[in-house]
Amino acid sequence: MGQLDTLPTTRLHHLINPSKIERKSLVKARLSRSRNKTSSMVDNIMGQYPFGESIAEPLLFEENDTLEINLAHFGLGDNRSHRLGNSFEHLEKFHGLNVKDNRITPKSIVSILGHIQPEACLNTLDVSCNKIGHKGAFAVAKLLRSTKTLRKLSLQSTYFSDKDAILICNALAENNSLTSLNMASNKIGDSGGVALAELIECASTLEDLNVAWNSIRGDGAIAMAKALGVNTSLTSLKLGYNGFADVATKFIANSIEVNGSLNFLDLTQNNIGATATLVLANGLEANRNLEFLILDQNPIGQTGARAMLRLFGNGEEDTILSLQGCNVDIDDPLIFDPNELSEHYSLTLDSPYQRSILKDIIRKANRHLGVSLTNVDYDGKTLHVDHATDCGEPLNLRELRIGDKIWTGYDTGIITFDVHIIPHRPTLANALTNAALENLLNVVLNEKLSERNKQLMMRLACQDMFFTTAQVIYILNKIDQRNQSSRVNAAVELMQRIVDPEKMSLFHGNLDSVTASKVKLQIGQLYNFDITNPGDHYRLDLAKKYDRVILEKLLEINTVDAEYSKTLSKRNDTSQHGDWNNFRNAVYNDKKILPPHSIATKFRLIIPQRGLLEFDYTTPRRVPPHARPIRHKYCQNLLRDVGLMTDEEWAALKIGKIIRGKMGRRKARDLAKRKLEKQRGVKGDLEPGPKQVLKVIIGVIAIAETQINEQMDAEQELVDMNPLNTASSLYFDLLDSAEKLQLGLSDVNMLKSYVAKYEGGNILIRWFGTLANWLHESAHEGIRTPFKPAATSFFLNVYLALSNLEQYGGDGDAVMVDSKSVLDILESNFENVLRDCDDFTTQLEGTVEHIEKITINNVVGLHDGLDQMMRLWYFQDPVNVSSLIGDPLITDQETDDDSVSGHDFEEKELDENEKLNLIEKNALREKLLYPLHRTLSQVYITCNELIMITKLFPSKYPELRVQVIQKLFGRVVDIERFHVVLSAFDKVTEDLMWKRLGWLNIFNPSFPDREYYLLLSEYDQREIAKMLVYLAIAEPGENWQDELYWRSRFAGEIESDPIPGWELPTSWIDDGGIPKDGIISLAYYSGSDRGCAPVWKERAALQQRCLCGDGGWSRVMQYGLLTFKKNSSQ
């Protein structure tokens, strides 16, 4: 950089009243400048250096051949601008001129541009932010016609109108050098837009056009949109803050489909709605060059936002999308939604919107198995659909053909077709690519979005896209750990869209305990739903959103399973009604769903938002041939980890006493305990049980109460926020080593771990852990228990008051006290609340009523009374006032969705014992069954291990035991031996297994010896009867014992008495001869002591009719007479 003088170089710097020395310096400088041609030019611009007024700032130019004059923001005004223009006569060559924001008027701009010589080789010209008007436009147009080197022209904020824009565009039609034109922030309207459209059509060199902040709309906007389709040079087009609206945007979409040069498009604030956005998204689908699309501040709605986000789900990896400030709250249910397809369509392809609907449907059918087009007709011609196949790779677009030619008539005509939809599980090919995921997160988690909009965008994205487990974990890690609400909502939405559910354990392991508990609280039983092992008994309240999600998932799984059974299994149908579906015993609103209807057909298209649906689902697949069951020792560790089995119980089972029924479970456990004590050599070196933990807790409570009383007596301020923690530490400090050894607890950390372990089995332990802030706040079902010091004080007072009452025996949770005294304590503690809050009365009355219901012989459990009082205390907290437990994570929309729907069924009124049993069963499911299911769904087990695990659950709940078997049935490697499972349980449990799992799923023709009670109106039981008839003929002797037959009357009613003297008729021997109604009862026996004998080859041949014959499995199992006697006796 060469400086032409030594004066200060600060912009607009002046020297006022210079000294003599300064005057001499100025004179000397002026003489030096007069000998320099460039300096003379500068003096002509800025005026001579004044002596009495001020000294102007000198200009700095680069001393090279690429001189650029930058006088932006100098405030030159007309006089100096006129001098600037005159000076260009002395400047032989310069390449750039920037006079932006200099208060230049039409008069002075004419002088500036009029004196620029063609020899100057001007490349860039910026006259922005000057009010140059129509005369200025003439001057610019004249310059454009004369220069052949100008490449960049900026006319932003020059007050140009339509006629000015027309002048510029006409001049540019004769200019083949300009590559960048900026006419933003002017007053260009429709006619100016038409002129710009003509420029876009003919300009072969123009690459960058900015006409943002104008008033281009209507015909002008449409003309520009159409012109974009024939342009081949534009790479950047800025149309923001105009009025293109829906109509012009749809034409932009059409142009983008064929445009091969555009790289950047800005449509900010153009009043673009949902339908136009949908069309635009389809245009982008066919474009492979556009990398940046700005749609900020448009009312695109939820449908438009989803259409744009679907680009990433459809494989788009390169487009950078911006949706900042868009109104995505609005939702128009009348706009097309690819997730809610109709069964028939008739589309006019002249409409861009309906043409986009067709492309979206074809894309849906292409990428998602289960959606197909049939009866396709185009203007009277039948189109044939080339159906893609599921090969695990991205699928090519399904082609529509007329004869042998591919149909390409997407632009005109009318097309009609039917859509056939079968719910189908997504595959890995449906997941986003990692590159597309990054671009999606730039939109959804943009730091400029509010937290509410981030959550909304995440929910919209999850409606159409699928992710791998690794991608879901990556997304969750992108969300701030401190923002629990966003993390929970994201986890809820994302876990429903995982395409590799076999890796769900990684997802659960990535969630911290707080997030996991909140997710579980929000989605209910969906949290424990396992897509890879879906066998279970389901009871779904369709008024709840996430119960409907479970049904959707099961419908998808059923489609895949049914297709497998039909095409790959090499066996017969094992379904309940002969329709290849795996739903069983379906009841909707207390009415059975019977053929020809089924869950798969009744809820295929629309799932109602009300009603109670109860059914069973059985997986129709055998485990892979290479599967190996876990070892017993590993099984022991798993059961111990989930809290289902202690060391003593495992030792007892190893002895084998419990399973064989020769010793009671408690006696076996005591025996094992003594053996372990003998092996360890130290009697007290055992894991502490609930009683030891309770003993410590009671001692801690006593210390805490003493400390609080001492502080109150001394009139000291209670500064200890959590006295239970302080008292716990002090309690262990007071114990000696022997006492700690005897308890099995040595410090607070051990106490914390065992409180967490036993919280599900003891009310006092659970409340203590909650108030000590060791357990999550939702540990108590139905309420939230945020930590508050006042709650701890109330807990201590109430517990001590209840403990001082006369006790009537029992220990642990069985301590009984006088119920009237409990109610007195209840009233005394809450009388102040009643005076202040009328709404509290209803809750209090409900608590009193509950205590009266659980009162037996005028006594009630001490811990039950404590629990009810603590729940009542926490009811005062705002988070527990609403019926939704005040969960802030549940949006208003979801709340309305789940509450307004209501029910079409009546819940059965339960007596008190049934309620208590239900509570206990739910607790067992929550604490043991669900963790067990999640753990064992990753491994395989044998029938013997299944028996062992099931028998760890109480025998008084056969339906719970059967649910355990249902959940683990899909992991059993030797289902051909399932007869040993049937024989291991009582008759009630066995009958329930037949019903829920399905006769053909657990029956092995190699072991038919047992009693049967078959309802012939059901397909699977009739098939069992056919096999028994076949074996009765094929095997020697009287195999059927004590057979009875009840005939069916009209309307399916069964006669009360069996037919006297009935025997197997010869008409039943022929295939299809067995009637489709009535009931048959018999005992099949093949022991040689009665002249019978098994024919093993015949039995093995029947296996293909059952699940044990899956995959063509056929095996002859020969056992001696002793084995069959043993099986039949059980």
Note the pLDDT tens digit of each residue in 712-741.
665 555 445 678 888 888 888 888 777 777
- For 963-1009, give the DSSP string: HHHHHHHTTBS-GGGHHHHHHTS-HHHHHHHHHHH-HHHH--TT---
Higher-confidence position of 1117 and 647 = 647
Asked if the model's pLDDT at residue 50 lies above 60, the reply is no
CB-based contact 252:283 (threshold 8 Å): yes
In the chain, where the domains are located = 1-63, 64-159, 344-520, 528-617, 632-676, 690-884, 998-1129
Would you state the pLDDT for residue 249? 95
How many Cα neighbours within 13 Å face the side chain of 894? 18
Q: Which residues does 807 contact at the CB level (< 8 Å), separation at least 6?
A: 815, 816, 817, 862
Task: State mean pLDDT over 72-85.
Answer: 83
Task: State mean pLDDT over 1100-1123.
Answer: 69
**Short-list 276, 345, 265, CA closest to 307:** 276
**Short-list 811, 604, 590, 791, CA closest to 698:** 811
Out of 19-28, 348-357, 857-866, 984-993, pick the least confident: 19-28
- For 715-740, give the DSSP string: T-----S-HHHHHHHHHHHH--HHHH
What is this structure's pTM?
A: 0.70
Q: How far apart are CA 433 and CA 438, in angstroms?
A: 9
Each residue's pLDDT tens digit, 1000-1023 = 999 999 999 999 999 998 999 999
Distance of CA 660 to the CA centre of its chain: 47
CB-based contact 324:293 (threshold 8 Å): no
Each residue's pLDDT tens digit, 1050-1097 = 656 777 788 888 888 888 887 668 888 899 999 999 988 888 999 988
CA distances from 920 to 760, 914, 948 (A): 10, 10, 21
Q: How far apart are CA 72 and CA 129, in angstroms?
A: 10
**1095: helix, strand or coil:** coil
How many Cα neighbours within 13 Å face the side chain of 690? 16
Domain boundaries 64-159, corresponding CATH code: 3.80.10.10
Hey, what amino acid is at 542?
Answer: L
**Short-list 955, 950, 1001, 963, CA closest to 979:** 1001
Task: State mean pLDDT over 205-231.
Answer: 94
Hey, what amino acid is at 68?
Answer: E
Q: How far apart are CA 1125 and CA 102, in angstroms?
A: 109
Would you state the pLDDT for residue 890? 33
Out of 434-448, 571-585, 794-808, pick the least confident: 794-808
Out of 373-382, 837-846, 964-973, 986-995, pick the least confident: 837-846
Q: How far apart are CA 1020 and CA 1028, in angstroms?
A: 13
Task: State mean pLDDT over 879-908.
Answer: 43
Secondary structure element (H or E) that encloses residue 406, with its range:
strand 405-406
Q: What is the residue-averaged pLDDT of the chain?
A: 80
596 prior amide bond cis, ω within 30: yes
According to DSSP H, which parts of 479-544 are helical? 484-494, 504-510, 513-523
- For 322-387, give the DSSP string: E-TT---S---TTS--TTS--SEEEEETTSHHHHHHHHHHHHHHHHSTTEEEEEEEETTEEEEE--
Each residue's pLDDT tens digit, 561-603 = 999 999 888 899 999 999 999 999 999 998 999 888 899 988 9
Asked if the model's pLDDT at residue 204 lies above 80, the reply is yes
Give the full edge-to-edge strand order of the sheet including 1011-1015.
1011-1015, 1079-1084, 1040-1046
**Percent of the chain topping pLDDT 90:** 35
Q: How far apart are CA 322 and CA 443, in angstroms?
A: 6
Q: Which residues does 432 contact at the CB level (< 8 Å), separation at least 6?
A: 312, 313, 440, 465, 466, 467, 471
Task: State mean pLDDT over 958-965.
Answer: 93
Confidence of residue 48 (pLDDT cuts 50, 70, 90): very low
